[in-house]
Amino acid sequence: MVRVILDASFVISCVDARVDLLSELQRVFGNVDVCMPVCVFEEVERNGSKLCISILESMKPKLLVATSIQGDDALVETARKGDIVATMDKELKERLREKGVRLVTLRQKKYVEEV
C-alpha cells in the first residue's frame, strides 16, 4: 500500500474540477493510504467549500502530527522517501523533490498524474 499525503491545494483543485480524488489516486497507484498533516486538514476546513470538506471527511484521511503549523513545512516534515505527495504548489514540489519524495498533480483539470 502506498502512502499518499494530500496538500490543501490539490484537494481543493480536484473538488473544483469535479475530479473523483480517491478513484484517480487508486487508478494510478492501486491501493492507497490517504494521509495529511493536521494543519493541512484545518487549512481545507478554513478555505475549502462545504463540498470539499465533506468529500475529504468521507475519505477518512489519516491525520499526521507535525511540529510545524505551516502547511508546506508540515508536508515536507512528514513526507518520507517512498511517500507520494499530492500538490499543485510549484515551490513545494521543488522542496519535496530535493528530499526524494514522489509527486502527484492534477493535469488538464481531468486526471491525476505522477510528475
Q: Could you tell me which residues come within 8 angstroms of residue 58 by beta carbon, excluding any fewer than 6 positions away? A: none
> Three cell numbers at 24?
484517480
Q: Domain 2-114 has what CATH class?
A: alpha beta
Whole-number Å distance between alpha carbons of 102 and 115: 8
3-class SS at 22? helix
The label of the residue with cell 508540515 reads 74
Per residue in 38-51, pLDDT tens?
999 998 888 878 88
> Three cell numbers at 103?
509527486
Per residue in 7-59, pLDDT tens?
999 999 999 899 998 999 999 999 999 999 999 999 888 887 888 888 888 88
pTM of the model: 0.92
Whole-number Å distance between alpha carbons of 52 and 100: 29
Q: Could you tell me which residues come within 8 angstroms of residue 16 by beta carbon, excluding any fewer than 6 positions away? A: 52
